[in-house]
């Protein structure tokens, strides 16, 4: 067993930290939060560093970085900014990952090089008003009409749809078979006639809008069917471990580590009874517990990432990572607010934003209850 990052991995991690330190001065992400708009320019710079391209093979302009490198990357992006990590994930892991995993060669050639260069952004539109955890019940209708499928219905809670160019979505193409057998994946242009996007109000991650997408007779050419007609469900299952380990688990560790570091920073600055808060033993012990929890979360996530990279079946480990990291990052963001009192609650300090940004992670990418159901099945309960 080897728990150490290589020199290259350490240097890679440092280069991401340096990038955010140089590009995003103090207050930058606060301002971004207030503006609640996706920072296209910053995303472009991230792409120019080759970080959007990291998961993809060289032939599409990627660097084939592997799962561990992806986990390190998203952790560091989330440490700087949870919404930036979310945007990277919905484009590179969810949308781009779907095309890489079950798209055909022509689709990969058409979309991935532009995605790698940051010229297009993708999002992933699965959830509907009446289907989320039970995704196989989706009702978005796709009817075969010559050279196109015609889509009618609604997707909801879709991250980043308003800033994206294309979405990967799933629709019902056969109502006569068992629910998971009649689903087809599609890639579609979000500016297609008949597509309406509405932004929803929410608690955190404001620069990444959560959107409703309404389809009114949207014509999707058949060359944009993703992974074969009625093959959508089985295809979707192929990317779940990656999504849970990288786009959820590692991302949450970045949020959690930031909460701990910010809590330490402010506990040094804030005085209570005439001496810095951090000098109170109870406070120091609480901070120690928080860091210990992040270390445990990180160990689980790297284990799962290592297993996936080495093609070892890891559904249980992926769900454990998602469960523990998402619940942990919320607990730690909350603990940081609690520890700093008013300095945690008011918006002049980062802790309040960290708390709001953390809260979605036991809901998105499969709720904690769903992860527990999967783990129960995996351990034979």
Q: Which residues bind ligand FAD (CB under 6 A)?
A: 90, 123-127, 132-133, 157-159, 210, 360, 363-364, 366-367, 369-370, 373
Q: Give the nearer residue to ligand FAD in terms of CB position, either 33 or 266.
A: 33
Please answer whether residues 308 and 244 qualify as being in contact, where contact means their C-beta atoms are separated by less than 8 angstroms: no
Q: Where are the alpha helices (DSSP H) in 147-280?
A: 232-238, 240-242, 251-269
Min dist. Cβ of residue 27 to ligand FAD (A)? 25
By the 10 Å C-beta count (0-12 exposed, 13-18 middle, 19+ buried), 240 is classed as: middle
Helix (H, G, I), strand (E, B) or coil at 293: helix
Q: Give the nearer residue to ligand FAD in terms of CB position, either 141 or 363.
A: 363
Please answer whether residues 98 and 239 qualify as being in contact, where contact means their C-beta atoms are separated by less than 8 angstroms: yes
DSSP string, 3-48: -PPPHHHHHHHHHHHHHHHHHS-TTHHHHHHHHT---HHHHHHHHH
Min dist. Cβ of residue 118 to ligand FAD (A)? 19
Q: Give the nearer residue to ligand FAD in terms of CB position, either 125 or 140.
A: 125
Min dist. Cβ of residue 163 to ligand FAD (A)? 12
Q: Give the nearer residue to ligand FAD in terms of CB position, either 159 or 326.
A: 159
Q: Give the nearer residue to ligand FAD in terms of CB position, either 185 or 343.
A: 185
Q: How far apart are CA 189 and CA 217, in angstroms?
A: 14
Q: Which two tokens stand for residue 358?
A: 């953390």
Min dist. Cβ of residue 302 to ligand FAD (A)? 25
Min dist. Cβ of residue 203 to ligand FAD (A)? 8
Helix (H, G, I), strand (E, B) or coil at 307: helix
Min dist. Cβ of residue 373 to ligand FAD (A)? 6
Helix (H, G, I), strand (E, B) or coil at 152: strand
Q: How far apart are CA 125 and CA 155, in angstroms?
A: 6
Q: Give the nearer residue to ligand FAD in terms of CB position, either 154 or 173.
A: 154
Q: Give the nearer residue to ligand FAD in terms of CB position, either 72 or 157.
A: 157
Q: Give the nearer residue to ligand FAD in terms of CB position, either 157 or 220.
A: 157
Min dist. Cβ of residue 23 to ligand FAD (A)? 25
Sequence length of the chain is 381
Residue number of the CB atom closest to ligand FAD: 132
Min dist. Cβ of residue 197 to ligand FAD (A)? 13
By the 10 Å C-beta count (0-12 exposed, 13-18 middle, 19+ buried), 85 is classed as: buried
Q: Give the nearer residue to ligand FAD in terms of CB position, either 20 or 124.
A: 124
CA angle (285, 287, 289) in 5-degree steps: 70
Min dist. Cβ of residue 164 to ligand FAD (A)? 10
Torsion of CA 83, 155, 232, 116, to 10 degrees: -30
Does an H or E element contain 124, and which? Answer: strand 122-125
Task: Tell me the Cα Rg of the chain.
Answer: 21
């Amino acid at each position: 067993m080897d728990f150490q990052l290589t020199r290259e991995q350490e240097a890679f991690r440092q280069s991401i930290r340096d990038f955010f330190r140089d590009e995003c001065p103090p207050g930058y992400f606060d301002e971004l939060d207030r503006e609640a708009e996706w920072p296209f320019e910053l995303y472009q710079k991230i792409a120019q560093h080759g970080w959007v391209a990291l998961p993809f093979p060289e032939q599409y302009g990627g660097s084939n970085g592997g799962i561990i490198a992806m986990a390190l990357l998203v952790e560091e992006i989330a440490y700087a900014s949870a919404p930036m990590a979310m945007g990277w994930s919905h484009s590179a892991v969810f949308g781009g990952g779907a095309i890489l995993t079950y798209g055909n060669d022509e689709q990969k050639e058409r979309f991935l090089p532009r995605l790698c260069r940051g010229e297009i952004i993708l999002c992933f539109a699965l959830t509907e008003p009446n289907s989320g955890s039970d995704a196989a019940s989706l009702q978005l209708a796709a009817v075969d009409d010559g050279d196109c499928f015609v889509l009618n219905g609604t997707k909801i809670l879709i991250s980043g749809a308003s800033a994206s160019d294309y979405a990967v979505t799933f629709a019902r193409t056969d109502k006569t078979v068992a629910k998971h057998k009649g689903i087809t994946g599609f890639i579609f242009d979000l500016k297609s006639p008949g597509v309406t996007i509405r932004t929803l109000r929410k608690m955190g991650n404001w620069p990444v809008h959560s959107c409703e997408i309404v389809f009114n007779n949207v014509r999707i050419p058949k060359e944009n069917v993703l992974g074969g007609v009625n093959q959508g469900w089985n295809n979707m299952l192929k990317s779940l471990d990656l999504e849970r380990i990288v786009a959820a688990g590692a991302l949450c560790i970045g949020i959690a580590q930031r909460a701990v570091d910010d809590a330490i920073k402010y506990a040094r600055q804030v005085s209570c009874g005439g001496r810095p808060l951090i000098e109170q033993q109870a406070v120091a012990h609480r901070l120690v517990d928080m860091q210990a929890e992040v270390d445990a979360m990180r160990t689980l996530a790297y284990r799962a990432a290592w297993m996936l990279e080495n093609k070892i079946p890891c559904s249980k480990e992926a769900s454990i990572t998602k469960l523990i990291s998402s619940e942990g990052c919320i607990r730690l963001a909350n603990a940081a607010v609690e520890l700093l009192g008013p300095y945690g609650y008011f918006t002049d300090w980062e802790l309040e934003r960290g708390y709001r940004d953390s809260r979605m992670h036991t809901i998105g990418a499969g709720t904690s209850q769903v992860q527990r159901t999967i783990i129960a099945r995996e351990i034979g309960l």
